[in-house]
Amino acid sequence: MSEPTSTCPAALDWDQQSQPGVWVIPPPRQRWWLYGLFLLLTLFSTMVVGARMQFNFLHQQPAFSLNDDTLSLFPIGWIAEHPANLLLGLPFSLTLMFILFAHEMGHYLYARHYRVYATLPFFVPFPSLIGTLGAFIRIKSPIPSRAALFDIGIAGPIAGFIPACIALIYGLSLSHPIASAAPPEIQLGFPLAFHLAARLLHIAVPLSALSLHPIAAAAWVGMFATALNLLPGGQLDGGHIVFSISPSLHRWISLLTVFALVPFGKYLWTGWFLWAVLLALTGRHPRVPRYPEVSGGRRALALCAALMLVMSFTPAPFTHSSGREVWPEIRDGSRDTLHDLRDGVRHLLHRK
């Protein structure tokens, strides 16, 4: 949520009449075709990676396994050769898209409730491990109060967390042990919600030894996205919740979160470095009117947001990817590249 620029004039010209002039500013026209286009593109990109997950599941391999050399990370060529394979990606794609859509619609509907102008959910396709960079809405008018900010901020995580939990239970019930004993290249870390669901379903094997059903894999992505949004800092959903409760503490909690993510990046997952930078760049929160304040039931609901963060947060989403482990590989790879470049230059000079 960014601080919007007011479209109203700084002062109103008064005429000789007793009634002041009334300015009606219509909201800008939304480009429905653009939202629909990116929705379809994201549906396609998540179906492509979901087809690979379903292929892995049918062959009792980890969901994000890359052991099969015939399929790439984003197997668009495999889909082009056999278009029917795209349908294999429906379970993952529809589950993940619904979780993301529910999250953003939670924000959107509460923004409409408080007469705050917000855009429709904008999905971002990306040929990656999960096929998307998520979805977002933009707030383009001021938030009327801290209570409204709290409601708009917390509505998204709640709306996305509930279907993610349902998908988690159902997806884990369909999962089965991995056939091969060889460790996969990409090993997932699991949040507390996965461990509790595994105990509820009486799953005997460790989660790392399961071939996750694509629906469970979509629940994992949904939980991860929920945890990222609930980080208590900047202009993330968690930052909005903190600011609505105590604007004076928002900056200090944001700084504390940034400092905490740095050792997380070094010892657990290098991606936390990126999130530390993003939070540092977006630490300043737009001003919101003080009244009405957040009190009573909303403060109790803030504890639910903290509980959702604890349940969905994964300190090491991908194991063996901490800064201590990744940096030597990058350093050695850079040295090899420099040596190859130096040898190539010498070879060219020798030929001359």
pLDDT tens track for 172-213 = 999 999 877 666 677 899 999 999 999 999 998 999 899 999
pLDDT for residue 167 is more than 50: yes
Sequence-ordered strand ranges (E) for the chain: 122-125, 132-136, 176-177, 210-211
Q: How confident is the model at residue 337 (pLDDT cuts 50, 70, 90)?
A: very low
pLDDT tens track for 237-259 = 999 999 999 998 999 999 999 99
Q: Round the average pLDDT of the chain to a whole number and report it.
A: 85
Specify the pLDDT at position 5. 42
Rounded distance between C-alpha atoms, residue 352 and residue 347, angstroms: 9
pLDDT tens track for 45-102 = 999 999 999 999 998 888 887 765 567 778 898 899 999 999 999 999 999 999 999 9
Specify the pLDDT at position 26. 58
Q: How confident is the model over 285-309, as a mean pLDDT?
A: 88
Specify the pLDDT at position 69. 59
- Residue pair 307/192 in contact (Cβ under 8 Å)? The answer is no
Residues 6+ positions from 54 with CB-CB distance below 8 Å:
88, 89, 91, 92, 214
